[in-house]
């Protein structure tokens, strides 16, 4: 499964695995899988122990993962934040602006949307409506 970053496709370099949010162990450090319908309260209380969070996208039409990413970043999470699942190349810029560092996609999606399609969105700061209108954010 490729990992998409601003500079292209990469092999997965995270070797510690992820535990489901529902099965958080008592002690950290933690790498956590978060479903799109998660209650983040148990995780927010333990953010200093969390090294990585992987948020599930069950469908490209399900945007709850973007909200989860924003909530985690606003709560002070500074670790690795990964989107996993049905995120398409056209959503990459939105994923980065929401706070994701990377996107994990399956091999079938990588074949349908090869690396050049993701590169088209790699300059994620430029792909928002304000830039298209010629305005800059304050």
Judge whether 24 lies within some domain: no
pTM of the model: 0.86
Residues 6+ apart with CB under 8 A from 76: 47
Q: Ramachandran region of residue 8, left (φ > 0), alpha (ψ -120 to 50) or beta? A: left
The confidence score (pLDDT) of residue 135 equals 55
The confidence score (pLDDT) of residue 132 equals 55
Judge whether 54 lies within some domain: yes
Judge whether 77 lies within some domain: yes
Residue showing tokens 């985690």: 72
Say if residues 67 and 102 touch (Cβ distance below 8 Å).
Answer: no
Judge whether 17 lies within some domain: no
Judge whether 137 lies within some domain: no
Sign for the CA dihedral angle at 62, 89, 51, 72 comes to: negative
Q: How many domains does the chain divide into?
A: 1
Question: What CATH number is associated with residue 50?
Answer: 3.20.20.70
Low-confidence ranges of the chain (pLDDT < 70): 124-138
- What is the span of the domain harbouring residue 39? 3-11+30-129
Helices (H), 19-85: 41-44, 64-74
For residue 100, the 8-state DSSP code is -
Judge whether 20 lies within some domain: no
Judge whether 135 lies within some domain: no
Judge whether 73 lies within some domain: yes
């Amino acid at each position: 499964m490729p990992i998409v970053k601003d500079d292209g496709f990469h092999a997965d370099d995270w070797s510690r695995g992820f535990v489901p949010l529902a099965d958080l162990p008592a002690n950290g450090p933690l790498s956590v899988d978060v479903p799109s319908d998660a209650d983040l309260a148990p995780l927010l209380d333990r953010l200093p122990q969390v090294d990585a969070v992987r948020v599930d996208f069950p469908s490209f039409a399900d945007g709850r993962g973007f909200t989860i990413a924003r909530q985690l970043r606003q709560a002070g999470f500074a670790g690795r934040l990964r989107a996993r699942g049905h995120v398409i190349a056209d959503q990459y810029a939105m994923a980065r602006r929401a706070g994701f560092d990377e996107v994990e996609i399956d091999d079938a999606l990588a074949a349908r949307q090869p690396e050049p399609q993701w590169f088209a969105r790699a300059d994620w700061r430029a792909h928002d409506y304000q830039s298209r209108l010629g305005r800059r954010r304050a």
